[in-house]
Amino acid sequence: MEISASLVKELRQKTNAGIMQCKSALQESKGDIEAAVQILRKKGVAIAEKKAHRKVPGGIVASYIHLGGKIGVLVEVNCETDFVARNEVFRAFVKDITMQIAAMNPKYIRREDVSPEIIEKEKEEYRSEITEKPPEIVEKIVEGKMKKFFFSTKCLLDQPFVKDPDITIEEYLKQKIGELGENIVIRRFVRYGMGEDD
């Protein structure tokens, strides 16, 4: 199937993927833009998994101040090379992450960062709300509630991306790894809100 340059351009604007990646995805999806976006997302995930073990000595520390100085964020995002650290796509990604942290106030980067004690305390709270169900059903409900109400609000990588709620920050990160061809790690952050408790 012949893919027009305007279709490739439209897909590039939506995804920031390379010309050849866009053309290939459009050929695979027979010209369907939305299907091509999904193909590129899946390929980004595959690329991200291959690169996950690579060291990330480069990167930047970025800041973001919101609401006239009422909320401030500092974040360190690492990549493999200084070349990518200076790249506009990488810097736009880092800015999006600072804005996400300002808006959504996560407490952790990933689920693994949450202590087992906190997880167990949350689970106990959910268990106490569920009565008259068999134990195996209770555990399934508790796991579902943990994913929907705890991890998706408290863990940055599990949160829906504020600019595109159809994807999580983890999926967005994997897209950028695929796009830039380097491993990227959100290493640490701190968020300050005027008058908020630690």
pLDDT digits (tens, 9 = 90+) for 160-191: 999 999 999 999 998 898 888 888 999 999 99
Residue 46 pLDDT more than 60? no
pLDDT tens digit sequence for 21-39 = 788 888 888 888 888 888 8
Q: How is domain 58-110+155-193 classified at the architecture level of CATH?
A: 2-Layer Sandwich (3.30)
What's the pLDDT band for 71 if we cut at 50, 70, 90? very high
Class of domain 5-51: mainly alpha
Question: How far is residue 55's CA from residue 184's CA, in Å, rounded to a whole number?
Answer: 9
* Region class of 59: left (phi > 0), else alpha (psi between -120 and 50), else beta: left
Residue of higher predicted confidence among 41 and 158? 158
pTM of the predicted structure, to 2 decimals: 0.73
Please report, for the chain, the start and end positions of each structural domain, with discontinuous segments joined by +.
5-51, 58-110+155-193, 115-153
User: How confident is residue 45, by pLDDT bands cut at 50, 70 and 90?
Assistant: low
Q: Which amino acid is at 141?
A: I
User: For 24-33, 100-109, 110-119, which range has the lowest pLDDT when averaged over its residues?
Assistant: 24-33
Contact assessment for residue 88 and residue 165, using Cβ atoms and an 8 Å cutoff: no
67-76, 84-93, 168-177, 189-198: least confident range: 189-198
d(CA 70, CA 57): 32
The rounded distance, in Å, linking the Cα atoms of 136 and 191 is: 38
Residues 86 and 66 sit within 8 Å (Cβ to Cβ): no
The mean pLDDT of 38-56, rounded to a whole number, is 68
Q: And the tokens for 172?
A: 């967005």
Q: Is the pLDDT of residue 70 over 90?
A: yes
Cα Dmax for the chain: 60
